Amino acid sequence: MSEKEQHNEEELNQENTGNAAEEAQQVESESTEKQPVEADPVEKLKDEVQDLKDQNLRLYAEFENFRKRTAKERLQMMDSANKDTLTALLPVLDDFDRALKNTEATPENEAVLEGLKLIQHKLSETLKNKGLIAMESAIGKAFDVEEMEAITQIPAPSPELAGKVIDEVEKGYKIGAQVVRYAKVVVGKEA
């Protein structure tokens, strides 16, 4: 064999050896790729299912929060509208009280007095059913900033009435525990 032929044969052997090594690497990489590829889809699907469950749970919680928030807002809106209407009717109640006091002074208006009492009672009961509560008379009680508004202070007729309510100019009203109108009072001060 000539040197040239020998050289060509060596090159072929090297190429075959190189090809064989490349083929072995490809087979090995394919086999390693196939194993994770088979495990990956299952894991990937499990992860995807878990993500969808989490997303579903979050959406459900968000919807529940939205539902509760809108229900609360709806109740607040109704209370607010109710409060505005009841507050607007308070001067009418005051006018009825004044009319009753003035009519009681004249005995010849007995029929008018009875009619006013009926109407005033009916209006008071209707407003009471809607949640309006008249505060107790404050006369003789200690002045309470939470429920009363002092219009003026006058010298107390006796030392025991100092710091207490002497007269109530306007009744106070509540809706539930919330004060709608503070009682307007005259407070006694020490002389």
pLDDT digits (tens, 9 = 90+) for 46-84: 999 999 999 999 999 999 999 999 999 998 887 777 888
Collapsing DSSP to helix, strand or coil, 8 comes out as: helix
pLDDT band at 7 (very low <50, low <70, confident <90, very high): low
Q: Are strands 148-155 and 178-181 parallel, antiparallel or unpaired?
A: unpaired
In the chain, % of residues over pLDDT 70: 79
Q: Determine, yes or no, domain membership for 171.
A: yes
Gap between the Cα atoms of 131 and 140, Å rounded:
27
Residue (of 178, 132, 171) closest to 148 by Cα position: 171
Q: Determine, yes or no, domain membership for 106.
A: no
Overall domain count for the chain: 1
Of 103 and 174, more confident: 174
pLDDT on residue 151? 92
Q: Determine, yes or no, domain membership for 2.
A: no
What average pLDDT does range 149-178 have in this prediction?
Answer: 88
What is each CA distance from 25 to 30, 33, 97, 111, in whole angstroms? 8, 12, 104, 115
Q: Determine, yes or no, domain membership for 31.
A: no
Question: What CATH number does the domain containing 180 carry?
Answer: 2.30.22.10
Gap between the Cα atoms of 132 and 173, Å rounded:
7
pLDDT on residue 36? 46
Q: Determine, yes or no, domain membership for 41.
A: no
Which of 14-28, 80-94, 117-131, 177-191 comes out lowest in average pLDDT?
Answer: 14-28
Range of the domain at 175: 134-191
pLDDT band at 1 (very low <50, low <70, confident <90, very high): low
| 184 has a pLDDT exceeding 60 | yes
In the chain, % of residues over pLDDT 90: 26
Q: Are strands 173-175 and 178-181 parallel, antiparallel or unpaired?
A: antiparallel
Q: Determine, yes or no, domain membership for 186.
A: yes
What average pLDDT does range 90-113 have in this prediction?
Answer: 84
| 19 has a pLDDT exceeding 70 | no
pLDDT on residue 30? 55
Q: Determine, yes or no, domain membership for 178.
A: yes
| pTM for the model | 0.57
pLDDT band at 111 (very low <50, low <70, confident <90, very high): confident
Q: Which of 37-51, 54-68, 105-119 has the highest mean pLDDT?
A: 54-68
Q: Determine, yes or no, domain membership for 184.
A: yes
Q: What does the mean pLDDT of the chain come to?
A: 82
Gap between the Cα atoms of 116 and 98, Å rounded:
11
What is each CA distance from 98 to 13, 66, 92, in whole angstroms? 123, 48, 10
